[in-house]
Each structure stands twice: as structure tokens, then as C-alpha cells.
Amino acid sequence: MMTALKNQENRRPSVLLISVDALKPEFVFEQERLGIKLPNITRYFLENGLTAREGSKSVFPTFTYPCHQSMITGTNPAVHGIVNNGIFDPKGEHKGAWYWFANNKVKTLWEAAKEGGYCSASVAFPTSVGARGDYIAPEFWWDGSELDSRFIDAVAKPQGLIADMEQEIGVYAGGLDLSDKGDAQRGKAALWMLRHKLKPHIWEKPFFLSAYFASFDESAHQNGVYSKEAAASLEKIDGMLGELIGEAEEITGGSLVVCVVSDHGTLDNTHNISPNVLLKEAGLIQTDEEGNVSGWRAFSQRAGGTAEIRLADPKDLEAAQLLEGILKRLEADPESGILEVVDSQGAKKRGGFPDAAYVLVSKKGYEIRDDVDGEYCRTRLTQKAQHGYSEEFPEMRASFMLYGKGIAPGNLENVRLIDVAPTLAGIMEVELPDAEGRDVLK
């Protein structure tokens, strides 16, 4: 046993990556002001870890799925191809499908870790269906029924993983349950993965495990960023972080690095705006008797505080001219809620929406919706808080924290979301050749 422990101490550390959706740096560093207590984040990261006090700069758009694939690849959405949460689908032909899948354009950290000699695993991480790892319990959903478990089990790696897991923990939280209860199941699933799939291999190889918690983001959406409900969700997540880190430290004998991050920040909404209402009025969108889109020449699809506008036919000059006129009026109108209109080249330069004719970026508090009928602007909110706003807004900055073997306490500056993957690849000494970000430890 002493020899095994010595070998464990001398080799590359295991790595635990935990994403806490929408965790803003102020909730980490200003707990007393905000009336919250996060003892595990305080103990591991504020007192003994390396943190980015000013947070990290997210990607364009600051939306959950693009952000998570950027986090796990070190590339921008325009490169990895996961450009929004939902598939662009004006007519609903894909039945509300999201970008559930790991990209097939650039290498992910799951694949790099596996190729580099790690046991590679994930639990509930967005954009992980089809990920090239050893044990992948992905985020996916269909209708919230028992069908979800059947579908997830079929696309998990290996098949049968979810059925095996559910015998001990109960129903796996596939993605539709973003509540505290859903996160409790995500926490149980991550602990199960550590104990039953990673621990048995620990003397042969270290592990890389990604995990995810969603309830703080969802509580903020429903109740507001600074609501007591959001604070309560975050405090529960902190408790689960403590359990996961403690279990991982015990399994690895302390040969462990933990990275806790978020995908973006969030801010409270004041208005909803619906550009498609104006596009329909201009004849660019047609609807049937039930109000469903039956045809479109231009369509705006939301990403929170941004929206991608595509032309059905880029050669349709009449539609392009009509669209350009509408957008010029919105940009010139101080009451429109539009901060800027970004053209195709501008969007690509910012790393997002490579297929867009234009991207709308709204002012703070003006969430963009996909409605094609009704008012363009209303104060009746769909959600009380949102992200997807400009990556330049300080409110959209994400969290970045490191703790563990070889990590010296301190503060990091100029961190970006695309730095997460190359930094962890550096710790694991594995190759991530496509990364646009940098290893912040070098």
C-alpha cells in the first residue's frame, strides 16, 4: 500500500471540473454583502486556491450550450459549431431540439484526456452526447418522463451506464429538471461515478471528471438574480461541491486538482423585445391560422440578450434590403432596447454565429424573444433574469477557481472562458491542439 500511495503522489493529478451555471464572481467574493454563506468555496478556493477575482470573460453569445462547449474545447462557438442552445429552427421542424451533442470539428478535453492516459468521464455536462470518453452520462431530454432515462441510457457511454446508476441513486436528472431536486440527483450521480467507475481504476490511471449544477441559474431565471431562492440554491450547490471534492480527495489520496467555473454571469430583466414581430409586419415571416411559422425569408432566433438573424436565401436581395432597413431603425431608436447591430463579419470576429446575416445585441435588461405576434416591446417578463447579453458586460463575467496539487494560492487576471480547457490540459499534460485559449498557469 505504501508503494501504491507513493506512486499516486508522484504521477499526474486527477482533475475534477465542476460547472456552476451562471455563478457570478460577486457571489464568490462578496458573500457577506449578498447575505450568503458558501463555506466550501471559501475553504477550498478563497483561502487555499487560485482565483480570478474579476472573473473570466465569456464567449459570444454568453449562453449555456455555446459556453460549455467552449469551456471543454478551448475554442469559440464559431469554431466548434455549437452557436446557441437550440438548433436554428424557425418552423419547429426539429421539435425543439437543442445542441445536445459534443462537436465533431475540434478535440474536446474528454477526448484529449482519454488519449493522454486518463480515465475520462462526465456527468450531466451540457453538450456531452457522443463525447469521446470512457464513462459519459450526458445531458439530454425528450419529455421528462421515464423515456428520458431510456434515451439517455442508449446514448450514454457505455450503454447501460444510466440503468446501472439508477439502481442506486434513483432517476437520473436528464436536463428538464433544473430544480434543487434535479441538482441533488446530479450530485448523487457524480458521487456514484467517482465511487463505482473511477475509483476502481485509480491505481492504474488518474481521472478527468466533468460535472454540472444548474439550479442557481434556474432559480435566478424564475425569481431574480438576487432573490432568496437563488441564494438558497447556490448554498445547496456549495454543500454538494464539498461532498464531491472530499470524495475525490479521498479516492486520489490528495493527488487532485479541482476547477470550479461558470459559463457566464446573469442580470435581471426589465423588458422583453420581439424582433420577429417587425419582420412579420414587413412580410418576411408568414404564419398559419394557429400562429405557427409557415414560411420565412428572414428570422430572428434568440440567445437571451442576443439574437441571430438569418436569411432563408442569402441571395434574396429584396429580403436583405427590407431586413437592413428594419435593423437600422432599431439601432437608431433609443427606445428599441437594441444596443448594437452586428453584421456577419463582426459576429465572426467576436467568435459567434458564423451563419448569421446579422446579430442583435440588446441593452441591459432587454431580453430578446422569438414571438412573431403581439407587441414588439413589453414589460411583462417571461423570465426575471437572463444571460446571453454582450460578453463585454461586467455582469456576464464568469467564475474561475483552481485548488489542489501544485496550485499556489493567488489571483489571476485576464482569464477567458476559452482558457479553461488548455489550462486543465496543461495540468494533465495532454494535447489539445485546436485550443484558441491559453494555459493561464504558464
- Is residue 136 pLDDT above 50, yes or no? yes
pLDDT tens per residue across span 360-417: 999 999 999 999 999 999 999 999 999 999 999 999 999 999 999 999 999 999 999 9
Please answer whether residues 64 and 52 qualify as being in contact, where contact means their C-beta atoms are separated by less than 8 angstroms: no
SS3 294: strand
pLDDT tens per residue across span 193-214: 999 999 999 999 999 999 999 9
- Is residue 5 pLDDT above 50, yes or no? no
What would the DSSP string read from start to end of 228-292? HHHHHHHHHHHHHHHHHHHHHHHHHTT-EEEEEE-S---EE--EEE-HHHHHHHTTSEEE-TTS-
Beta-carbon neighbour count of residue 428 at 10 Å?
Answer: 23
Q: State the pLDDT at residue 304.
A: 98
- The residue-averaged pLDDT of 98-121 equals 98
pLDDT tens per residue across span 75-95: 999 999 999 999 999 999 999
pLDDT tens per residue across span 29-83: 999 999 999 999 999 999 999 999 999 999 999 999 999 999 999 999 999 999 9
Q: Among 4-8, 187-191, 340-344, which is the least confidently predicted range?
A: 4-8
- Is residue 266 pLDDT above 50, yes or no? yes
- Is residue 7 pLDDT above 90, yes or no? no
C-alpha cell at 341: 447591430
Q: Which residues contact 118 (CB under 8 A, 6 or more apart)?
A: 12, 14, 15, 205, 206, 207, 208, 428, 430
Report how far residue 351's alpha carbon sits from residue 390's, in angstroms, rounded to the nearest whole number: 12
Name the amino acid, one letter, at 209.
L
Name the amino acid, one letter, at 24.
K
Q: Is 22 left (phi over 0), alpha (psi -120 to 50) or beta?
A: left
Q: What percent of the chain has pLDDT over 90?
A: 98
Q: State the pLDDT at residue 9.
A: 52
Angle at 119 between CA 113 and CA 121, to 5 degrees: 85
What would the DSSP string read from start to end of 182-233? HHHHHHHHHHHHIIIIIGGGTTT--EEEEEEE-HHHHHHHHH-TT-HHHHHH
Q: State the pLDDT at residue 348.
A: 97
pLDDT tens per residue across span 138-164: 999 999 999 999 999 999 999 999 999
Please answer whether residues 62 and 265 qualify as being in contact, where contact means their C-beta atoms are separated by less than 8 angstroms: yes
Name the amino acid, one letter, at 361.
V
Radius of gyration, alpha carbons of the chain: 22
| 161, containing H or E segment | helix 161-169
Domains in the chain, CATH or no CATH each: 2-267+393-428 (3.40.720.10), 270-382 (3.30.1360)
C-alpha cell at 442: 504558464
- The residue-averaged pLDDT of 309-329 equals 98
pLDDT tens per residue across span 214-265: 999 999 999 999 999 999 999 999 999 999 999 999 999 999 999 999 999 9
Supply the pTM of this predicted model: 0.97
Q: State the pLDDT at residue 2.
A: 35
- Confidence band, pLDDT 50/70/90 cuts, at residue 11: confident
Task: Tell me how far apart the 2 most distant CA atoms of the chain are, in Å.
Answer: 76
Report how far residue 109's alpha carbon sits from residue 422's, in angstroms, rounded to the nearest whole number: 8
